[in-house]
Structure 1
Amino acid sequence: MTLPAIEADAAARPPRIGLLDTARGVALIAMATYHFSWDMEFMGYLTAGTAETGWLKIYARAIATTFLFIVGISLVLSSTPEIRWPSFWKRFGMIAAAAAVISIATRIVMPNEWIYFGILHCIAVLTLIGVVFLRLPLVVTLITTLVLLAAWLTDNFGPPGLIRSSFFDPRYLAWIGLAAMPERSNDYVPLFPWATPFFAGLSFALIAIRTRLPHRLAAIGTDSWWPARLGRHSLAFYLIHQPVLIGIAYGLSLVIPPQAADPVATYLRQCNSACVMQQGEALCRSFCQCTLEKLQAQALFTPLQAGAINIETDERVQTIAAECSAEAQ
């Protein structure tokens, strides 16, 4: 590329938007506060399931929605006027590598609930999908966004399980997001429904580029704000913050140990919080109570709580889950 061509390309690029960096930084801070509540629950200071239910559940989903919306916007801005492939593959490689590190680390530390498809995995795959849509007409992206939104509304407000199937329950398919009862994970962000905010961001940015809105937003001077500076280093912050926070929670537990929790109440809350991510509350209450009773009847509850039983490979537990799932329908 000649010097005039390079200068023309640079002039056509959207300016860096400090407001977008600030929004990303604020979302990172919100994420850290949520993760600290999870850490406090993990250490026993909060009732089991607290971080996955009620307003904290809504808080977590709002944070994830914000991140993915911003990812969609950022992909468009970084690929205008054309995709800069070396930069694209560098960013993708960093995200994919970070996702792999998280999977490996959690597989070792918490094998029963390891992160096989969390938000970084989702961002990596959506980035590959999104770059294809950048080459398609805008109307295709808009229609895809509306279809995803309609599917999300159907999944949440339509007949239970209408677009889900147990066929997608295994991990190698659960990442798609159509599982009826996906295998447990401490961070599960499948493509559906989470492609919806990503495509919304993609659509918004593609329209904004045509109206020169990025140039007007760039004029709002927030570049020097510390949330904006934090937002420019989001991946590093994401990887570092959780070990620091859980270290703080662990240190606190050494000084002020948490009170012991009731194992039955803990099990029911954990079971319900994991279940309601994909199913209705009434069905989940029935399912969890059923599994509790069967586990106790077969003298499996205590060893399961002690970690002596692997819920993923133990045929007795799998049979109980299948029976209770059928009974709860």
Structure 2
Amino acid sequence: MARHADRFWEIDCLRGFAVLIMLLYHFLYDLDFFELADIQLRSGSILYAGRFSASLFILISGTSLSISHSRALDKEFDGNGAENFLKYLKRGLKLYFMGLLLTGITWIFLPEEYIIFGILHFFGVSAVLVYPFLKYGKENLFFSLFFGLSGLYLRQRTFECSSLLWLGFTPENFRTMDYFPLFPWFGVLLAGVFLGNFLYTGGKRQFEIPYIGKNPIFRLFSSVGQNSLVIYFIHQPLFLGLLFLSGLIDPGML
């Protein structure tokens, strides 16, 4: 068992693995967008790899939220249900603001598919919305299915307005390089919350697992996982900067 205050290395590794797949997917996306390679990202295994990495990342985030919530219950609690909601609100605002910065950056460099409601926007909103769900156990499976199936239904339809993009109501010919509406992705997050409550009850691991975190590969994954937010925020501007500096693309291509 890990000590109560320790990080769980397997969660960091899985998060890092998801981030590395995401980095590869977004780099290929940039190459395809600027017609530097014919990758056909909108179909085939590469698209599924991108979806898999996003699903895994969000699932693990839900698990981590559950663990953090469980550990907070062992500390100060004011008895009125307020607990540490302010912490979730502050984190949500921080993530959403970072998402808005990426919206501005991609609007400048990738105006045809700039990020409108990407994964950082999603985490910003869901960090607040998830709070009342953290107290539930098996019920989160039902909520997860509701959001997930509703999202799949909405994905097959288009709507005239764009004010509900954050929920999953998309207009015709909508294009963006990063889109994570609450339907269905909040369902994936809630599935992670369920797993966290089940596999890490009370913030403690409920199963035995050999420690292999000293393996160089797993140490790399773990390091990436522990710094996933910073990596995600800087990776796309870094990719674009490298492509500009290499001379592969120039402002006239935008």
Same fold (TM over 0.5): yes
Distance 1:192 1:85, change over 3 A: closer
1:233 and 2:227 correspond: yes
Check if 1:36 corresponds to 2:27.
yes
Structure with more of its chain in helix, by fraction: 1
Runs of 5+ consecutive residues of structure 2 not aligned to the other structure: 74-82
CA contact (8 A) 1:171 1:183 kept: no
Equivalent position of 1:199 in the other structure: 190
State the Cα deviation string for residues 172-230 of structure 1 (Å, max 9, x = none).
21221133636321211111122222111111112223387625468635278122122
TM-superposed CA distance for 1:37, in Å, is: 0.5
Report the RMSD for the aligned CA atoms in angstroms.
Answer: 3.2
Superposed displacement of residue 86, structure 1:
5.4
Q: Does 2:199 correspond to 1:208?
A: yes
Deviation at 1:63, TM superposition (A): 1.1
TM-score by length of 2: 0.79
How do 1:101-116 residues align onto structure 2 when only pairs under 5 Å count? 101-116=101-116
2:50 to 55, 60, 82: 60
Conserved 8 A contact 2:103-2:115: yes
Aligned 1:197-276 pairs, distance under 5 A: 197-210=188-201, 214=205, 216=207, 220-222=211-213, 225-254=219-248
- What is the count of residue pairs matched by the alignment? 238
Report the residue type matching 1:41 in the other structure. Answer: D
- Which TM-score applies when normalising by structure 1? 0.63
Q: Decide which structure has the larger Cα Rg and report it.
A: 1
Q: Which residue of 1 aligns with 2:79?
A: none
Contact 2:16–2:221, Cα closer than 8 Å, also in 1: yes
Structure 1 unmatched ranges of 5 or more: 1-10, 258-305, 308-329
Three-state SS of the structure 2 residue aligned to 1:166 is: coil
Match in the other structure for 1:155: 153
Q: 1:211 to 1:248 in 2, by over 3 A?
A: same
Structure 1 residues 40 and 111 mapped into 2: Cα distance closer, same or farther (>3 Å)?
Answer: closer
**Alignment check: 8 A CA contact 2:162 2:170 kept:** no
Cα deviation 1:267-323 (Å, max 9, x = unaligned):
xxxxxxxxxxxxxxxxxxxxxxxxxxxxxxxxxxxxxxx98xxxxxxxxxxxxxxxx
Structure-2 change in CA distance of 1:113 and 1:150 (3 Å) = closer
Shift of residue 101, structure 1, vs aligned partner: 0.7
Note if contact 1:96-1:124 (Cα within 8 Å) is conserved in structure 2.
yes
Matched AA of 1:249: L
Give 1:95 deviation, angstroms. Answer: 1.2
Identity, % of aligned positions: 26
Residue 31 of structure 1: how far off its partner (Å): 0.9
Alignment of 1:171-210 (within 5 A): 171-179=162-170, 181=172, 183-210=174-201
Supply the distance in 2 between the matched residues of 1:111 and 1:43 (Cα, whole angstroms). 12
Q: Which letter does structure 2 place at the counterpart of 1:190? A: P
Q: Report the counterpart of residue 76 of structure 2 in structure 1.
A: none
Tell me, yes or no, if structure 1 residue 74 matches structure 2 residue 73: no
Query: Match of 1:220, SS?
Result: coil
Tell me, in whole angstroms, the C-alpha distance in 1 between the residues paired with 2:40 and 2:247: 18
